[in-house]
């Protein structure tokens, strides 16, 4: 079974998806981390004056750690520079096609909670449950500022820029799938959001077993 969680920057996708996966005993897939790895590789390649092809990039998950090649890049992919670059590489159809293929392959077997921008619309439109997670701009910027230590204003400007790029790009722009359940997390404690999605997943699973 697949639970697809899509939504804009800072809606709480990672925290919520990770917790829903733990609660259900499913495997968590952070597809944004894959775009971030491609961005980090591009930055590293520029510094080293070389060019790796997409096929040469090995991206692996080991528990909570993200590996690019043999290097643990869990923290390196979270810098503001990589965030901005990730939203740029994510507009490249060749990058998207490549990563979408990998994401489809990964989630084909077993039980997954996959989180990103296009899981329910492009990667796996057949997902049994689709969630579109949102929150107000101010709340999203506040959450990010608490994580990064930057000001709310800086985060607000940054996320609006990234949202705009994610929503207006030609290749699989961020949008809510018609059959997704919209969950607004503004002012709602994470535990409540997690509980609601986990219940929806359990109900979906029970219906599938009955059918």
Q: Which spans of this chain sit near ligand DC (rule: CB under 6 A)?
A: 9, 31-32, 35-36, 86-87, 90, 116-118, 162, 166
* Closest separation in Å from C-beta 91 to ligand DC: 8
Q: Which is nearer to ligand DC, 99 or 198 (CB)?
A: 99
Q: Which is nearer to ligand DC, 92 or 205 (CB)?
A: 92
Q: Which is nearer to ligand DC, 118 or 155 (CB)?
A: 118
* Closest separation in Å from C-beta 60 to ligand DC: 17
Q: Which is nearer to ligand DC, 137 or 205 (CB)?
A: 137
Phi-psi region of 153 (alpha: psi -120 to 50; beta: other; left: phi over 0): alpha
* Closest separation in Å from C-beta 172 to ligand DC: 7
Q: Which is nearer to ligand DC, 140 or 162 (CB)?
A: 162
**Taking each helix axis from N to C terminus, what angle separates 152-168 and 80-89, rounded to the nearest 10 degrees?**
10
Dihedral in degrees, nearest 10, Cα atoms 135, 19, 14, 199:
-50
SS (H, E, C) 11-58: CCHHHHHHHHHHHHCCEEEEHHHHHHHHHHHHHHHHHHCCCCCHHHCC
Please check whether residue 198 is in contact with residue 3, taking contact to mean a CB–CB distance below 8 angstroms: no
* Closest separation in Å from C-beta 111 to ligand DC: 19
* Closest separation in Å from C-beta 125 to ligand DC: 13
Burial grade of 51 (CB within 10 A; 0-12, 13-18, 19 or more): exposed
* Closest separation in Å from C-beta 209 to ligand DC: 29
Q: Which is nearer to ligand DC, 4 or 194 (CB)?
A: 4
Phi-psi region of 12 (alpha: psi -120 to 50; beta: other; left: phi over 0): left
């Amino acid at each position: 079974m697949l639970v697809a969680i899509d939504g804009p920057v800072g809606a709480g996708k990672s925290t919520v998806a990770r917790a829903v996966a733990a609660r259900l005993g499913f495997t968590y897939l952070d597809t944004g981390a894959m775009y971030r790895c491609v961005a980090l590789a591009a930055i590293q390649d520029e510094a080293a004056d070389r060019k790796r092809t997409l096929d040469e990039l090995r991206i692996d998950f080991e528990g909570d750690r993200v590996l690019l090649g043999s290097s643990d890049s869990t923290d390196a992919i979270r810098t503001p520079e990589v965030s901005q670059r990730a939203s740029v590489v994510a507009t490249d159809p060749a990058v998207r096609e490549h990563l979408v293929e990998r994401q489809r392959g990964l989630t084909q077997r077993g039980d997954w909670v996959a989180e990103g921008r296009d899981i329910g619309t492009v990667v796996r439109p057949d997902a049994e449950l689709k969630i579109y997670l949102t929150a107000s701009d101010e709340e999203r910027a506040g959450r990010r500022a608490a994580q990064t230590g930057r000001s709310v204003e800086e985060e607000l400007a940054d996320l609006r820029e990234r949202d705009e790029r994610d929503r207006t790009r030609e290749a699989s722009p961020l949008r809510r799938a018609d059959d997704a359940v919209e969950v607004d997390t503004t002012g709602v404690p994470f535990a409540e959001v997690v509980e609601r999605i986990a219940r929806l997943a359990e109900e979906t699973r029970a219906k599938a077993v009955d059918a």
